[in-house]
Chains A and B, each alone.
Chain A
Amino acid sequence: MIGELMDPRKTFGKAVTEIAKENKDVVVFSADSGKSSGFGDFIDQFPERYFECGIMEQGAVGMAAGMATAGKIPVFCAIAPFVTCRPYEMVRNDMGYMKQNVKLVGRNCGITYSDLGVTHQSLDDFGLMRLIPGMTILAPQDPVEIEEACKAMIEYEGPVYMRIGNPKIPVLFERKPFVIGKGDIIQDGEDVTIITTGSCTKDVIEANEILKEAGIKAKIIGLPTVLPLDEDLIRDAAAETKKVVTVEEHYINGGMGSMVTELLSDMDGVTVKRLGIPNIYATTSSNYQELLAYYDLDAKGIAKSVKAYLGK
């Protein structure tokens, strides 16, 4: 139901558990991270397909890749920096270079671990993952999309990184099949294109209400897949509105905004404003909303930045 609030981790764990009932190749890896990734039911139902490795993320990625060579479909979920930054070379070589069918899932992405600080926030995962040739990056925007993304990710053969948040998020859209690489026009408009992904989409939709009041008609594009980028959709929109804003819970350098900027760099008269976290070690607060507001990534902040960019 649109508007219903759901826990992204539990939604994710349940979705994978459902798929695993049919698909016996699905196995789950944990680095002391399984139950907190929503795998409680999976552990009960498929104990022989659940591999608790303890706190050893590099080993877990390596073992997952090894299992994938024998046709298994390993899913490894933990706090985002500990499946991306920590075991990066294993992800690049053993999953990427070896083209192995491993599904990495980073949870508590962005600054959702708002008070645990730099070591637990993940503001560089898009950047790190996009540099691995052949990698796919998913960032579903609502709980239903998380469920559909799980199906798509497991059906697809190849290395995937998916990023999910932590606080409950509302259902934003009607259910539809997840097509990897495809973005959606959430709202049409001609003054500016706002491109959003993952956890930011809810706030962009809210920001849009403020923009409407100011007479700004925004074209809003949602990207549940960050890599491969939906290039045609983005180029067409940019050709139309000329002005483009990207919004992500990530460093403004190296992530989706950078990818969009690089894509549009050969287009005359097109400019891009990237919203996100500046390239610093972000600060902390136990209140996630407060921290989003601090970095102008809540609805108000996003609206303010878009208005300023348009000179309104």
Chain B
Amino acid sequence: MADKKRVANLKLQAAKCRQNVLRMVRAGGHGHVGGALSSLDIVTALYFDKMNVDPENPKMEDRDRFLLSAGHKCLAQYAVLAEKGFFDKEVLDTYGKLAAKIPGHPDMHKLPGVEANTGALGHGMSIANGMAMAGKLDGKDYKVYAITGDGELPEGSNWEAAVAAAKFGLDNLVVFVDNNGLQISGDVTKVMDMRPIDEKFKAFGWAVKYIDGNDMNQILDALDSIPEEKGKPTMILCDTVKAKGLSFGENKAGFHFWNATEELLDQAEKEMAELVSKLEKEKEELV
């Protein structure tokens, strides 16, 4: 079990990052909140607890790498990068505006901390492989982390990357599958059932862990034991809740992309502010 203080702090950071997501939705009026909020706890744990990154020096040679294969989850990455200090939070207020540094899919040439230009699904795993292969070639010990969606998995390119990652022994690579059960057309298992996802990756030569991806304890436990097996890439299959933290949107396919109404956005901001105060108190009580 991860240390209580460590967990309490991360939960608080995640709630603050969720506030950042709402701030961008406030600015742009909409956004791919569903997949951003389901994966946000993982992204928070990585940046605030695990990854060797320096907001002052985002291109630091030995940094750990993070990328979203499901680029539409970018609100999560923008929120965390802002909270971590990679850029001014005012940038969050430009979401949806002309020539924003934070467009609807991430652009590495616009925003410090972004490592790849994703948005077309099924690219991230191969790019992550390449980063991990370069690390091995140069004898560096940085790690590469990537997140894919569950709806994204039928793209054949993912499986090209999966077999190659095993062949090249990329135990410096960790891929999270954000298993929120939903995609645009609804239930992932009805659209194209990829189960058993864990068994498939195992058969492709990966070490696999299966966790609740919205539970900070489980996320930290999984991250603390990487590489799961020496010589093998690690896949962490994360059961998550789409639109996690939006009381009215959780587990609803309609919140894949949210065209926000004033009323619901007000409500979400209020609920998230309450959660932040509650988590601040909990954190103080532990000190």
Contact = CB atoms under 8 A, between A and B. Distances in A.
Interface of A: 30, 32-36, 52-56, 58-59, 81-82, 86, 113, 115-120, 283-287, 290-291, 294
B91 interface: no
Interface in B78-134: 96-100, 103-105, 107, 117-122
B28 interface: yes
Nearest to B183: A32
A283 B103 CA distance: 9
Given A53-B192, A56-B154, A284-B100, 11 more contacts: A32-B185, A35-B185, A59-B154, A119-B71, A119-B105, A119-B118, A119-B120, A120-B120, A283-B98, A286-B28, A286-B96
A82 B191 contact: no
A303 to B, nearest CB: 21
A55 B152 contact: yes
Interface residues of B, number: 32
A117 B151 contact: no
B119 A117 contact: yes
B60 interface: no
B118 A294 contact: no
7 contacts: A32-B183, A32-B184, A54-B188, A116-B105, A117-B104, A284-B98, A287-B98
Interface in B1-46: 28-30
- Closest 5 interchain pairs by CB? A54-B192, A119-B119, A286-B96, A54-B154, A116-B104
Interface in B147-165: 151-156
A214 B287 CA distance: 75
A118 B107 CA distance: 9
Given A32-B151, A33-B184, A119-B120, A284 B103 contact: yes
A119 B151 CA distance: 18
Interface in B163-204: 183-185, 188, 190-192
A117 B184 contact: no
A56 B97 contact: no
Nearest to B118: A119
